[in-house]
Structure 1
Amino acid sequence: MIRQKKSKKIMINTILSVLATIWIFPVIFTVMGALKGKQEYNLGNIWDMPKHFLLFENLGYLSKGADIYQGMLSSFLYSFSGALLSVILAALAAYAIAKLEIRFRMFWFLLIYCGTIFPFQIYLIPVYRGFAKLHLYDTRAGMILFYTAICIPFSMFVLRNFFMGISNEICESAKIDGCKDMQILTRIFVPMSKAPLSVVFLSQFTWAWNDLMFGITFTKSSNIRPVMAAISLMGKAHVPALLVGCIIASIPTVLLFIFLQKNFEAGFAYQSK
């Protein structure tokens, strides 16, 4: 029995090690390419180790010929605002659907959740035309509004499932003590839901930050364009600098994951119950 457990553990660890190696391999390739110069990258083998350390030269190219840093500021504004607002609105909707005595609760749940059923590509033309008519195209307000709206359905789905698991006796006890519905949400449900709230915020922030399709469709100005759209417009003129831009653009999401890692793991444990 003990041998079977050990062999099973070794097999699982081996599979996970292989998957981790496959997952991290593109990262190694990206770092190696970012350290090379333009000529060395174009004329040499992409698998060769860099002969010269030209990272700062590539960073200088980004500062002069690309809008990566301006794009990162724009993306941080869109991602943070969109994720925060969507979590707040989704928490209100999830609490109402899960715990309040409202009519047609399942209808409102399905109506909001259906935003995740259809492919996101079908939103391109309707939203583009709507933004053009409302003068929201190529504006920061339009991008924040869009990312907030598109992140609400998934956020509401996760939070509603968590709120359903909280005992109704807690709500009843709070009402006996004189708490209103909003006080129950802010003073009881929100502190109990720090883990799933962190998970939802992290996932929606990461999605908005990595989005290319909507960012490149709904913007055209360099000061409005998000970072992924700015990177995509660099082309292949200077691939090492492009790889450096990809590494820099990934730093905020990595830092946010590290900051919320404990809550992220706890949130998965809550969702699995």
Structure 2
Amino acid sequence: MGKIIRTVVLVILGILWLLPAYLLVVNAMKDPMTFTSKLSWVPTDFHLFENFAEAVNLSGLGSSVLSTLLYAVLSPLIAVLVGAAAGFAIVALRLKRGFAWFVLIFGGTVFPLQMILLPLFDAYSRAGVFDTRVGMVIIYTAISIPFSAFVMRNFFTGVAHSTFEAAVLDGATTWRIFTRMYLPMASSALVAIFILQATFVWNDLLLGLTLTQSDDIRPIVTTLSSMQSTYGGAQMSTVLAAAVLVSLPTVVLFLCTQRFFAKGLALGQY
């Protein structure tokens, strides 16, 4: 009986979780010429692919998708490697005052991002990296490193220090131990961190609005937000179709890597 109740509860929660996505797709199918503000629960038209094409042509999504892919791949990748190196140095190398270094790295996450937007905008303008891909990669990497270091430090804490000592006795260098032993052991955690940070970068709106202004530099969600404004914009069904397009990559990413993601969340290893 308990198993049945648990199954029913999970099914209901799953339906509630997927309901916004269902409404998004159903209303994205509407004909832009006959679209009304009234929410549709049942599909009445099928103009989804036409709305997809219209969204790409009108919004500039096509020009921003390559930049967003660059940010969502390069920044998390650098952050994962730096975070793993920091965790390795603190735990395996037993860095002097390692906990203080960890607090210094992770301490940046204590303050809300909104607090640093104004000085960040000023610094980017003075440094000449405002509205540049290099500037966006830098800020996304900097934001992703603390969480990566936090997870990797916790993961490496579970690895017996005798493993490191045995490798040293066998004559392995520190770099070889890190790349050939610790990184492969932490592959699941590395993938999980990468997925989470890539999703954050892909869905970012605030930094894109603050630090960019060109369509080919802006993150894709920032470009999506510009389709509707106080002074008008694209038809709502076109905007909803664009939202579906923007959401698809992260959904595909989770579906393709769910096995690694589940292991990584549990800080498991191969």
- TM norm structure 1: 0.93
Cα deviations across residues 74-116 of structure 1 (Å, max 9, x unaligned)?
1111111110010011111111011113221111000001122
AA at the equivalent of 1:63: V
**Aligned-partner residue type, residue 122 of structure 1:** M
1:48–1:200 Cα change, 3 Å:
closer
**Equivalent in the alignment of 1:27:** 21
Which of these residues, 241, 244, 258, is aligned with residue 244 of structure 1?
A: 241
After TM superposition, the runs of 4+ consecutive aligned structure 1 residues lying more than 6 A away are none
1:208 aligned onto 2:205: no
Aligned pair partner of 1:127 in 115, 120, 127: 120
Q: Does 1:16 align with 2:26?
A: no
- Please report how far the alpha carbon of residue 11 of structure 1 lies from its aligned counterpart in structure 2 after TM superposition: 2.3
CA deviation string 1:163-187 (max 9, x = no partner): 0100011101100110111111100
Answer yes or no: is 1:46 the counterpart of 2:39.
yes
Say if 2:173 is the partner of 1:180: yes
Query: The residue matched to 1:42 in structure 2 has which SS?
Result: coil
Deviation readout 1:170-225 (Å, 9 max, x if unpaired): 10110011011111110000111110000000000000100101111110011101
Letter in 2 for 1:196: A
Deviation of 1:252 after TM superposition, in Å, equals: 1.4
C-alpha separation in 1, matches of 2:46 and 2:256: 31
Q: Is 2:262 aligned against 1:265?
A: yes
Work out the CA distance in 2 between the residues paired with 1:270 and 1:106.
Answer: 20
Deviates more, 1:136-145 or 1:258-267: 258-267
Return the alpha-carbon distance in structure 2 between the equivalents of residues 143 and 162 of structure 1.
29
Aligned-pair distance for 1:226?
0.8
Looking at structure 2, the residues matched to 48 and 188 of structure 1 have their Cα atoms a distance apart, in angstroms, of 53
**Per-residue Cα deviation, 1:18-76 (whole angstroms, up to 9, x for no partner):** 11111100111011111111233216x42253433212321232232111122221111
Gaps of 5+ in 2: none
Structure 1: tracts of 5 or more residues without a match: 1-6
Q: Output the CA distance in 2 between the equivalents of 1:63 and 1:69.
A: 6
Aligned AA for 2:77? L
Query: What SS does structure 1 have at the residue aligned with 2:54?
Result: helix
CA contact (8 A) 2:167 2:177 kept: yes
Which residue number in structure 2 is paired with residue 144 of structure 1? 137
Residues 178 and 35 of structure 1: CA distance in aligned 2, closer, same or farther (over 3 Å): same
Percent identity, please. 36
What is the aligned-residue RMSD (CA, Å)?
A: 1.6
Read off the aligned partner of 1:36 and give its amino acid letter: K
Contact 2:58 2:234 in 1 (8 A): no
> Which is worse superposed, 260-269 or 200-209?
260-269
More displaced, 67-76 or 8-17? 8-17
- Structure 2 CA distance for partners of 1:102 and 1:56, relative to 1, 3 Å: closer
* TM-score of the aligned structures, taking structure 2 as reference length: 0.94
Q: CA deviation at 1:265?
A: 0.9
Q: Does residue 93 of structure 1 match 2:90?
A: no
User: Residue 5 of structure 2 aligns to which amino acid in structure 1?
Assistant: M
Aligned pair partner of 1:108 in 88, 91, 101: 101
For residues 10 and 126 of structure 1, what CA distance do their matches in structure 2 show?
A: 55
